[in-house]
């Protein structure tokens, strides 16, 4: 069994800090679960273009506020504690921070390895690795 404390991820290579968000990857591809599991904090007032063409992501908002706008249809959804969104069609979107830090729990399928960075189109490349499983 794997038991982790997100506090032990802070300050390691599994915590990614950008101007717009900080992501703590608590479970990664190497853990062999078939998904990765992250805590992400979106900074207030930021806007991030995201299009995960190679991954499905589900996001559970647990604290703070923000907004998501799907680019195909221009629909906007307010984000706050209790809202879950799933990018089941690899939906291209804008993710916007609100007035307070927005803390979310994210699941990626296939799992993130930890080596991906958003490219200029907001895409993570598909990287697969052996899990030994
Ligand atoms: C909610 C979202 O997609 N934020 C961007 C970062 C991402 N969650 C990640 O890489 O952990």
86 pLDDT higher than 80:
yes
Task: Tell which atom from ligand 1 comes closest to the C-alpha of 50.
Answer: 3
Q: Which residue is associated with the tokens 């979107």?
A: 93
Query: What integer pLDDT is reported at residue 81 of this predicted model?
Result: 98
Q: Determine the Cα–Cα distance for residues 121 and 124; give it in Å rounded to an integer.
A: 9
Average pLDDT (42-58) is: 93
Average pLDDT (71-100) is: 97
125 pLDDT higher than 70:
no
- Both tokens of residue 116? 């991906």
The answer to whether 83 and 77 are in contact (CB under 8 A) is yes
Q: Determine the Cα–Cα distance for residues 55 and 88; give it in Å rounded to an integer.
A: 9
Q: Is the link from the previous residue into 93 a cis peptide, with omega within 30 of 0?
A: no
> Whose Cα sits closest to atom 4 in ligand 1?
40
Mean pLDDT of the chain: 90
Query: What integer pLDDT is reported at residue 114 of this predicted model?
Result: 78
Query: What integer pLDDT is reported at residue 118 of this predicted model?
Result: 57
Sign of CA dihedral 93, 94, 97, 99: negative
- pLDDT over 90 for what percent of the chain? 76
CA of 22 to the centre of ligand 1 (A): 8
Task: Tell which atom from ligand 1 comes closest to the C-alpha of 40.
Answer: 8
């Amino acid at each position: 069994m794997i038991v982790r404390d997100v506090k032990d991820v802070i300050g390691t290579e599994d915590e990614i800090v950008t101007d717009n968000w900080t992501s703590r990857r608590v479970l990664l591809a190497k853990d062999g679960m078939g998904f990765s599991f992250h805590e992400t904090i979106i900074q207030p007032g930021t806007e991030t273009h995201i299009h995960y063409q190679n991954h499905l992501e589900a996001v559970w908002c647990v604290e703070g506020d923000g907004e998501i706008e799907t680019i195909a249809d221009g629909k906007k959804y307010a984000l706050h504690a209790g809202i879950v969104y799933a990018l089941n069609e690899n939906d291209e979107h804008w993710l916007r921070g609100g007035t307070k830090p927005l803390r979310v729990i994210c699941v990626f399928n296939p799992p993130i390895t930890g080596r991906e960075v958003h490219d200029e189109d907001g895409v993570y490349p598909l990287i697969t690795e052996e899990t030994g499983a």
